[in-house]
Amino acid sequence: MMDLGLKAWAEIVRRVYPELSILRDRSKWLAGDFKLPAVFIETDLVSDKVHTPRADRIIEDVGLVFHYDKERADEQDEGEPIPLDLDPLFLYLRQQRFNVASKRFGVVLVIEPPRTRKKADQVEVTFRYSYLLSVPKPLVNDEGSPIQKINNFYISHNGEEFGA
């Protein structure tokens, strides 16, 4: 479930840019095997710490590489890149106060301010973000026998035992 952040970011990009192609496969991205305009999404785990006995805090970095579409004067030649407007993405994140809930995956991403880097035909946006990941409760103990729920409680008073 460690690609949960990657899937949540794909959901966010889909909300803001529904017509944009989303790439998650690094080999296809490096080969240039995609239709423009597109965004490549890659996450990198920074830290995985115990937050509570039932949840871990995951801290990751995400890189979004937005590839611009190209102007076409004729069908045969491509012109200059058409820059993609990133204002809708930043406006959406500000409206959400940089706390975006994933509707499909049940996590809330707490996002730090972005860093951008522009190139001729693309712009790279990087964020650091965190979310809580639920840790399942063990159903067996160390010996391998199932853990029984305690349904009956007893109290002792003056040497006598009473059901509670």
CA 41 to chain centre: 10
Q: Which domains does the chain have, with CATH numbers?
A: 4-163 (3.30.2000)
Q: Which is nearest to 99 in space by CA: 12, 39, 41?
A: 12
SS3 68: coil
CA dihedral of residues 83, 13, 89, 122 (deg, nearest 10): -30
The list of the chain residues with pLDDT below 70 reads: 1-2, 71-79, 164
The pLDDT tens digits of the residues spanning 84-130 come to 899 999 999 999 999 999 989 889 999 999 999 998 889 999 999 99
pLDDT of 20 = 92
Cis check for the bond before 113: say yes or no (omega within 30 of 0).
no
pLDDT of 3 = 86
pLDDT of 74 = 59
Q: Which residues pair with 56 in a beta bridge?
A: 50, 133
SS3 161: strand
pLDDT of 157 = 86
pLDDT of 76 = 57
Q: Which residues contact 79 (CB under 8 A, 6 or more apart)?
A: 70, 71, 72, 73
**86 token code pair:** 């990133």
